[in-house]
Amino acid sequence: MANFELDKNNIPTHVAIIMDGNGRWAKAQGMERSMGHAKGTEMARRITEEATRLGVKYLTLYTFSTENWNRPPAEIAAIFTLLLDNLEEEVFIKNKVRLRVIGDLGRLPEEVQRRIQACMDHTADYDRTTMVVALSYSSRWELTEATKQIARQVKEGKIKEEDITDEYISSQLQTNFMPDPDLLIRTGGEKRISNYLLWQCAYSEFIFTDTYWPDFDEACFRDAIAEYQQRQRRFGKTGDQVEAEKK
Ligand code: IPE
Ligand code: IPE
Ligand code: MG
């Protein structure tokens, strides 16, 4: 797509991205996989800045899944080194981007945990764009933890069984500070969700692209939003109902 204007009144509030294809990108260039992660990290920063320019409020980036702990230790170490190098408060502060993190953070190296906490503390008051990094995250883990938490609350008499509504479950998830994703993008060619935001994506629009994450630049991001803007979100209603409500 080339010349198009995005509809400023229909920018998705929350875009979630499965940033996949770093390793294959590197392999295709004859490089080590870690080089793909380095290039991918750089692209995450650029796409966050573009999201800020476009007015996307929440950008949730799948950075390291629970299942990724099964990768070779050297690759895991390379990913966390990159993360440490890139969690620079100055960059967040310059762009007025708030950092939040979801996932089983206790499993992360201590230095990473400390850096994340410092970065979150220093950016907590920014309200333009929030970059949510999913780290050691999986949706089934998150749902299991929430289920245990709710069971405890019932057992301790803090809530009753009938208090457990759809909204209540959402409020017990780590993502409770933001609305559900309007748009989920997966780069790298695979058409699967890989344990990401299963509950939250109940009504998200999905875009799968073959482009590897290190090549997914600002233009690709705007193309994805343009495609999103062509979709009719019906939430179970008929197309005619949705059209009538717009008027
Ligand atoms: C995504 O790229 C980044 C992480 C999962 C950490 P991959 O590393 O999965 O790249 P491919 O899928 O092997 O190309
Ligand atoms: C999903 O990518 C996780 C992240 C992008 C962090 P993977 O490359 O780990 O996904 P699968 O295992 O191929 O589905
Ligand atoms: Mg992958």
Q: Is 95 a catalytic residue?
A: no
Tell me the pLDDT of the chain averaged across its residues: 96
Q: Which ligand is nearest to the CA of 21?
A: 1
Q: Where are the domains of the chain?
A: 11-141+179-246
Please give the share of the chain, as a percent, with pLDDT higher than 90: 93
Q: Is the dihedral of CA 194, 199, 200, 205 positive or negative?
A: positive
List the beta bridge partners of residue 65. 137
Say yes or no to pLDDT of 39 above 60: yes
> Residue with structure tokens 């400023």?
8
Interior CA angle at 168 toward 164 and 170, to 5°? Answer: 130
* Res 3: pLDDT: 55
- Number of Cβ within 10 Å of residue 233's Cβ equals 11
What is the third-level CATH fold of 11-141+179-246? Undecaprenyl pyrophosphate synthetase (3.40.1180)
Instruction: Encode pLDDT of 96-140 as tens digits.
Output: 999 999 999 999 999 999 999 999 999 999 999 999 999 999 999
Say yes or no to pLDDT of 2 above 60: no
**Alpha carbon distance 178, 16 (integer Å):** 12
Are 213 and 24 within 8 A, CB to CB?
no
The pocket of ion ligand 3, defined by CB under 5 A, consists of 20
pTM of the model: 0.97
Q: Is 163 a catalytic residue?
A: no
